[in-house]
Structure formats: C-alpha cells, structure tokens
Amino acid sequence: MMPYLSGNLPLGALIVFVASFSATYWVMPFLIRKLLNAGITGGDIHKKNCPLIPEMGGLGVVVGFIAGILLAVGMATFIGLEIGTTQVLIGLITVLIMALVGVFDDLFDMGQVVKAILPIFAAIPLMVLRVGSTSMTIPFIGAVDFGIWYVLLLIPLGVTVPSNLSNMLAGFNGLESGLGAVMTAAIAFIALTQLGVNPFAGDALIISVAMCGALLAFTRFNWFPARVFPGDVGTLIIGAAVASAVIIGNMEAAGAILVIPHTVDFFIKLRHGMPKTFGKLKRDKLLCPREGVMGLGQLIMKKTGGISETRLVAVLVLIEVFFALVSIRLFAVF
C-alpha cells in the first residue's frame, strides 16, 4: 500500500477527506453539549419562540480540518505522499489564525471595522513565504504577472475579502457550511484535474478536501432545524481555507468566480449601510424581508413572495453550484 499511496495523490486526498469528516462528525455532539452547558448560545430568529442554539460550532470544523491536514503531512513524511508540506502547513496556520479572530469576535463582539481588518494578520504566513505564483491566469485576458504587488496587496486582499464575505452571507440553517462545501469541492475538483500540470495543485487539493470533509460533517448538525450554529469562528475560516487553497494552488481567478454570490450580497448590503437583517417569519412559516431587500437572501424572499428557510438555503446553494460549475468549466483540465 505504501508505494501505491506515495504516487497516488487522489487516494491520499480521499483519506484526508474521510479523516476530516470523521473527526468533525465525532466531536460535534460533545462540543454541542459543552457549548450549551457553558451558555454560549444564540437565538434562532427564524423559528417560532426564537429557541436558543449553541454557538461557535465552527470549532468542530477546525478540529476536522486540523485532523485532515496533519494526517496529510504525516503521510507525506512517512509514506511519501507527494505534497508540499510547507505550503499545506501554511494553509493550516492561516486558517488557525482566522479561527482565533473568529473566537474573539464570538466572545467579545468586535466592531465591523476591527473585524474587517484583523483577517489581514491571517495572510502574513502566506505573504512571508511567498506561496503560489505572482502570475495569475485571468479568463479572456491570459497570464498577468503582478510581481511584488501580488505579495503586498493581492494576498492580503485575497484572504481578507473572502473571509469577510463568507461571514456576511450567513444567518440561515445550513447556509454557511453548504456554500463552503460547494466552494471547496469545486476547488478540489479543479485541483484534481490539474495534477501533473500545476505543481501546486496537490497542495490546493489537500487543503480544500480537508475543509470540505469537515464542513459536510458539520452540515449534518447545522441543517434545518439546526442543532448548532457555526459562529464567526466557523464562517471566517471558510473564506480563509478557500483563499489559502486558491492562492497556494495559483487558482485565484477560480476563487474569484466562486465568491460571486457573496460579492453580490455584499454590494446589496453596502448600498443599505451594512444592516444586520435577515428575515421575518410569517404565520405560514415563510420568510419575507424584514425591512426590504438588504441582502441576497432578502432579494430571494421578495422575488418569491415568501419562502421557507430550507428552500431559501437550497436556492442559495444552487446559485453557488452554478458558479462552481462555471469555475470548473473555465479552469479544470480535461
């Protein structure tokens, strides 16, 4: 098995996926009980009587991601799995720094400006080691070399923007983990097709499958009716993992396409002064805009004349699937 696995990165990625999924799935019941006992809860505002649900469940995703990454590094060290251990560990450090930012925000409710700036620190490991390539392939334009500005400007923006965007398009049962699972699965598929063509594709594959496995396991507990919320520790690390994978794997343009739904949501909210609004529950258990269209979710509520929470999440996930397929069509190597 060892010689076979040493040259079989897809099999190694599958093992990492199973490990991250299993670790998160195993730890979540324990974590839910501990969070509930500690009083770390938040109201599920789209349910009758607004029941209190444990927050900061994203810590379980962190556990699964760590398990997957460390297993990959162990396989690389002892049985020759062909990945760049330094790059993969840098991706882990970036996600862990972002998780720390999320924990502080969940516990101390930091302001919007502070929350927007702190993720820059998570980009420092990627900047210091100058991972990835300064040349980016842009659809319909071709390869563009950004030189030193890639390190000084694009990497910090590449980490900060997706992390904050994934934190904004949130608030409905299963939404954040569902969107994150689709994005990381798309990156993993693109990376898988680029093995042998892109020298960094294996690293992006491992980072994305480790996060995808953890998110899918977490979705089991976060889907309607949610037993746990991810908290900012969960939402911020999704963007950080996506950013790490596409930066290290030199797939930045693919990542830009994947966050289009989040970007649309951001600009709608920006137009209305970045409100913290979700939806209000009508007597027929359908969600409608609380104060008009102030986000992508509220836009769908308005266009449908009211929609259930599960269907709203399904629509948003399907929108993400569409952009994932566009990204695959443009960047996968067949």
Most confident range, picked from 126-130, 202-206, 275-279: 202-206
The H helix count followed by the E strand count for the chain is: 16, 6
Alpha-carbon gap, residue 207 to 65, rounded angstroms: 8
Structural domain spans, the chain: 2-254
Per-residue pLDDT tens over the stretch 67-92: 999 999 999 999 989 999 999 999 99
Contacts of 159 (CB under 8 A, 6+ apart): 94, 98, 119, 120, 122, 123, 126, 239, 240, 243, 244, 247
The bridge status of strand 142-145 relative to strand 280-281 is unpaired
Report pLDDT for 45. Answer: 87
Report pLDDT for 1. Answer: 34
Mean pLDDT across the chain: 90
Distance of CA 281 to the CA centre of its chain: 27
Radius of gyration of the chain, Cα coordinates, nearest whole angstrom: 19
Report pLDDT for 133. Answer: 67
Alpha-carbon dihedral sign for residues 274, 122, 63, 199: positive
| SS3 of the chain: helix, strand, coil, percent, to 5 | 70, 5, 25
The whole-model pTM stands at 0.93
Report pLDDT for 6. Answer: 44
Does 12 have pLDDT greater than 90?
Answer: yes
Per-residue pLDDT tens over the stretch 297-328: 999 998 998 999 999 999 999 999 999 999 99
Report pLDDT for 236. Answer: 96
Lowest mean pLDDT among 96-100, 128-132, 304-308: 128-132
